[in-house]
Amino acid sequence: MIHDTIIQLLKEIIKDEKRILTDKVDLYSYSYDSSFGVYLPDVVVQPKETKEVAEMMKLANKYEIPVYPRGQGTSLSGGPLPVKGGIVFDLSKWDNKLIIDAEDMVAVVSPGVITADINNAAMEAGMIYPPDPSSSNVSTIGGNLAENSGGPRGLKYGVTKDYVIGLEVVTPEGEVIRTGGRTVKNVTGYDLTKLIVGSEGTLGIITEAILRLFPKPQATKTLMAVFDDIVDSGRAITNILSSGILPSKLEIMDNATINAVEAYEPLGLPIEAEALLLIELDGHPAAIEDEIIRVQQVCESSQASEVRVANTVEEANELWKARKLVSPAIVREKPTKISEDATIPRSKIPEMFKRLKEIREKYHIHLVVFGHAGDGNLHPNIIADQRDQEEMRRVEKAVEEIFEAAIELGGTLSGEHGIGTLKAPFMEMELGEIGLDMMKRIKESWDPKNVLNPGKIFPEPGQRLVLTNG
C-alpha cells in the first residue's frame, strides 16, 4: 500500500487533483484489461505532459513503487495490468497533440490519441497511417506502440513498429530521452526506437511519437473465395503472392467461424466450406482492375468452389461484413473468449489447421480459427465459460498445445498481441534460456530497481497460464 506521503508528493507534481484517483470504485476501473486477471492499483494518475511523467517516474523510482502505464486497456495479453499494485499512469487523457506534416509525411502525436483518429487525419491530407488493429477505434496510439500492434494490413504494410521513426521516452529512472527523429533513415547508434516499441511498457514510457505516413492508395478492390478443402486455400495464398501481387488484406475464416457468423446474422455464407478467403487489393485503379482478375483466376485454378468479386464499394462492404461480425458472433455462443495469435510461417498454414483440429478434438473445446492468413498470423479463438472450472482446465491445456504447435512449426507465441502476463510462462520455450537472459539484461540495465511495469514479459518463478478473473 502506498503511504499518504506519496499521494501528497504526487499532488505536488500533478497540480490538478481531479487527475489523481484514489477512490476504490475508480481504482477498480483500472484493475483489468481485455485479457485475464483483476489487480487493484493503489492510485491512478492521469499525466498530460512529459514533465509530469518524468517527475512521477523519478518519485516512483526513488521509493521503488511499481508504475503501470496504460492506454485504453484493450490489451489481450495483460500489458497494463497493475499486477503488483502501485501507480497506474493513465495516458489516455493526454490526447491533445495530433499534427500531420504533409511535407515530411509524418504525424506527431501524444500518447493518448486514438489510433483511428491518426489515420483519419492523415486521410484528410491525402495520406494513410497503415497499422489497423481491430481495436483502432478505441485503442490509443501509446498502447499500440507499447505492444507493437498489428492488424489485417500487416501483409502489405507491416506493423506499428514499421511506422515509428522517432520517440520521446521517459526512462524508468525518470530521465527524458529522444530516439530517432523525423527521418526515415537513421543509423546513429542502437535503434532504441524499435527496441522500445513492442517492449510493452517495460523499458520506458512513450510521451510522444513521430509516425511515418504513406500516400493514400487511390482505389481498393475486394474478392471472396470459397474452398471446400482448407489445404487448397493455403495453396491459393502462396500462388497469389508468387504471381507478383501483394494484397493489402488477405483474411481467412474456417468452417466453425463461417457457421458462427451465419448463425449470428444470415449473410448467405457457404456453411459447408472448409475455408473462406477475403482479399483486398489497393493501389492504382488500372493496376488493381487487372490484378483482381488474376487473383480470381489463381483462386479458381487453386480449386476454389466459388469466387465473388465486389463491383462496388457497397458490395465490398457486404463481403467484409462476414469478417467484421466474427467477434460478436463467437462471443454470443459462450461468454469467455480466449483470443490467441500464435503465428506461423505462411507455408505452414495447412499444417497448423490440422494441428488445431487435433487439439480441438483432444480437449473437446469450442475452437474457431480466423485471422490474417497472408502473413501466417492466425487467430485461434477458444470460446468457453470461465465459471466452468473443468472446462477452463481443458482450455489451458489446449492453449499450451497451440503454443507448442506454433513453435514446432517455426512460428512464434505472439504475432501481434504481446506477451504481458498471459504468455510469460512460455517465453523460454520459444527463446531458450540464453535468448531470454539477453532480454532480461537489457531490462535490468535500464530499470535496475524493476519499477516500470514489473511482472510482464519475464516469467516469475513457477508462473503458469491463468485464464480466470478470480
Radius of gyration from C-alpha coordinates of the chain? 23
Binding residues for a second copy restricted to 25-54, rule: CB under 8 A: none
**Piece of 257-265, 303-311, 327-335, 409-417 that binds a second copy (CB under 8 A):** 409-417
**Piece of 7-15, 43-51, 325-333, 418-426 that binds a second copy (CB under 8 A):** 418-426
Nearer Cβ to a second copy, position 195 or 231?
Answer: 195
Burial state string for 357-373 with b = 16 or more CB within 10 A and e = fewer than 16 = eebbeebebbbbbbbbb
Tell me which of 37, 82, 142, 376 binds a second copy, using CB under 8 A.
376
**Cβ 63 to a second copy, closest distance in Å?**
21
Nearer Cβ to a second copy, position 41 or 425?
Answer: 425
357 binds a second copy (CB under 8 A): no
Tell me which of 417, 421, 425, 455 binds a second copy, using CB under 8 A.
417
How many residues contact a second copy, by CB under 8 A? 96
**Piece of 34-42, 89-97, 121-129, 269-277 that binds a second copy (CB under 8 A):** 121-129
465 binds a second copy (CB under 8 A): no
Tell me which of 101, 272, 388, 460 binds a second copy, using CB under 8 A.
101
Binding residues for a second copy restricted to 71-100, rule: CB under 8 A: none
346 binds a second copy (CB under 8 A): yes
Tell me which of 52, 133, 430, 467 binds a second copy, using CB under 8 A.
430
**Cβ 412 to a second copy, closest distance in Å?**
5
Tell the residue number behind the cell numbers 511535407, with chain if given. Answer: 103
Binding residues for a second copy restricted to 133-192, rule: CB under 8 A: 147-148, 150, 154-155, 158-159, 161-162, 171, 175-179, 181-192
Binding residues for a second copy restricted to 234-253, rule: CB under 8 A: 238, 241-246
Going residue by residue from 274 to 313, which x/- string records binding to a second copy, judged by CB under 8 A?
---------xx-xx--xx----------------------
